[in-house]
Chains A and B, each alone.
Chain A
Amino acid sequence: MKKTQPDKDINSGRRRFLGTAGAAFTVASARPAWGGSTLMDAMGSFFQDHYQRMSAEEIADAIGRIERRAQRRYGVDITCKDVKPQDNVVFGYALNISKCKGYRDCVSACVRENNQDRGSQMQYIRVLEMDSGSRNLERSEHYYDPETVPVEGKYYLPVQCMQCDDPPCVKACPVNATWMEPDGVTVIDYDWCIGCRYCMTACPYWARHFNWREPEIPAEEINPDTHYLGNRPRPRGVVEKCHFCLQRTRVGRQPACQEACPTGARIFGNLLDPNSEIRRVLATKQVFRLKEDLGTEPKFWYFTD
């Protein structure tokens, strides 16, 4: 996996802090593990506050724990960044279903990019094989497995988190562990989620997934370039979902699914930029949104040629 440039501005201050804090932690780390982590870190995690209430210093502390935990669990040095949203950016997605051929390259790229649990085969994107002439989801095939795709008489409908502008999952969460960021992406504080799964009940797109077991990822497949609210390794017992690859998109890159798509069906960009490609699609193509009648205002559109 290609490693990307870490965001220098964000990291330099944090690294200075970790330099001093890290020295203090070395003693603790050498001690016998307590529940898979040092007692210091376990206590730190237990008393860790909600992401939105933490000071920069507390977040740096939390990031230190995240990186040490990844080292202990997977033996991999990851970088966890907390790149903040950019001003005047709201992300949106448009998908050309005429071009989608059902290869599911987006699915596998997403799994690798976002460090999803291989044990339970968690996937943020589900590509539905649909009968031509129908958009009835209940007649969709979720586990299609023919020799070759596309299959005659079928079309393919990839579904992932729609990043609703009025997200029912956010409303549902009893502890504010999930919220919409200023750039329009609904994120989860994996260290605050209590695992009640009410958000999964509330989501009309089946976009939320739960870590029923301790996530397992082969060390060599870990993506070490991670974001605090994005693809950092998750603990057991919490919910996760597509976050538009915050670790990439907040530093100006495209999401992994967009890059992986061999047919160019996926258009991702800034909805507030009138010159963006996604704005051109919305202005010139006949678009539709899935289950628009539910009023959740998805920021994910489908269109055809």
Chain B
Amino acid sequence: MLAFIRDGVGSMFRGGRGYWLWLGLLGVVIAAGALAYGIQLRGGLIVTGMSDQVSWGFYIANFAFLVGIAAAAVLLVIPAYIFHRKDIKSVVLIGEGLAVAAVLSAMLFVVVDLGRPDRALHMLPIIGSLNFPQSMLAWDVLVLSGYLALNLAIPFYVHYCHYQGREPNFAAYFPFVVLAIFWAIAIHTVTAFLFSANTARPFWNIALLGPRFIATAFVSGPALIIIVLQLIRRFTRYPVPSSVIDTLALIMTVALQISLFFVAVELFTDFYNESSHAASVRYLYFGLEGMNSLVPWVWTALAMNAVAVVILTIHPLRRQRHLLNVACVLAFFGIWIEKGMGFVIPGFIPTPLGEVFEYSPTAVELVLSAGIWAFGALVFTVLARASIAIETGAVGAARSRPGLTISG
């Protein structure tokens, strides 16, 4: 076991110049983020653009989006373990690595949003006082921690077996895989409930929110995975079957079609007979009282998603890899805008007392957020590195004899 951990961690930090350049780049962004967090700790959250009116901002926007990315790993887990798709099974461990990185980043986004991070321990059971099952935020803490644990434990076991040169005992870990599947849906549903639970915020207080979150997660998640798998194929010797990308592209196509349908349903309901509950939607798409900072963003997102759905829906277009990549990038950022800032901020505008007060993130928020994204990328990179080393047999118990050097 110790040798496994030693070799696994060792392989994370072994690579050529390009690999180290990438790690170094991420390190620089993380350092900048840490510096920004230092400024925030010193001055308080006043250094952000948030206010009593818009009391959550860019951090929580990224949090909501990243929970979706984490949940989307289930799209590899289900075909791999339930339908025994050999091709997908070969990349499922990488998908689980992505889930770990996304959950960790999502959690970090919540931590940096806290006014008193020094009291974060108050959320722990016994020492602290977790308001469970009342508070949806308490639920979110629990399900995210659980999801993180599951996505660490299952790949750890599978990798360990492969490291020792034996097949994992399917019956032993299958129950946990099933649990992880439901858990993935749960983390994103709970995150949707975190918002939709608020009767004070009509913009979020809709039953469609849960389904919408899942649908958009199944767009942004596969979009990212498709790009990442191609990068892995290019930069490592790890074989990524094209059929995996085709399957993910198909899932993403349907999910994006459903997501856009949901947008249309909401717009109809809000605007056919426009009530005061539609004020936030009006603010988002058209602006209110001359304030409209989100309007260009949401229309850009809508346009990006529209182009993406056209590319994806027309089979000959989708089958061209470079066009698929364009669609992935468009949909990823389209959903990021729509489900991040475009979803969190209008919930606060107008305030429950009808005040229209705008928000835009400060440099501190942007740099700190970039740092967290870079941290997520770093976590994923080293996990994928170790996974590939073990799965290709470059690292294994049989090989970890002294005197044997491994290239790669």
Contacts and interface: CB of A to CB of B under 8 A. Distances in A.
B350 A168 contact: no
A140 interface: yes
Interface in A191-234: 192-198, 200-206, 208-214
Given A192-B122, A210-B115, A126 B353 contact: yes
B352 A205 contact: yes
Given A140-B353, A175-B131, A237-B45, A195 B114 contact: yes
Interface stretch (B134-142, B321-329, B366-374, B377-385): B134-142
A136 B350 CA distance: 12
B200 A202 contact: yes
Interface in B53-87: 53, 55-56
A149 interface: no
A280 interface: no
A194 B123 contact: yes
Interface string A167-203: 0100111111100000000000000111111101111
B115 A237 contact: yes
A151 interface: no
B contact face: mostly helix, strand, loop, or mixed: loop
B338 to A, nearest CB: 20
A210 to B, nearest CB: 6
Given A176-B129, A213-B46, A196 B114 contact: yes
A33 interface: no
B51 A212 contact: yes
Contacts of A159: 353
Contacts of A126: 353
Nearest to A196: B114
Given A205-B352, A294-B200, A214 B130 contact: no
B115 A211 contact: yes
Secondary structure of the A side of the interface? Answer: loop
A238 interface: yes
B129 A209 contact: no
Contacts of B115: 193-197, 210-211, 236-239
Nearest to A294: B199
26 contacts: A128-B353, A137-B352, A138-B279, A138-B350, A139-B354, A172-B197, A173-B137, A174-B131, A174-B138, A192-B122, A193-B115, A194-B117, A194-B122, A195-B114, A196-B137, A198-B194, A200-B55, A201-B198, A203-B352, A210-B52, A212-B50, A212-B51, A212-B52, A214-B44, A237-B116, A294-B199
Interface of B: 43-46, 48, 50-53, 55-56, 110, 113-120, 122-123, 128-131, 134-138, 141, 194, 197-201, 276, 279, 347-348, 350-355
Given A138-B276, A175-B128, A206-B355, 19 more contacts: A136-B276, A138-B350, A168-B198, A168-B199, A172-B198, A174-B138, A176-B129, A177-B122, A194-B119, A194-B123, A195-B115, A202-B198, A203-B200, A204-B352, A206-B351, A209-B52, A210-B45, A235-B116, A239-B115
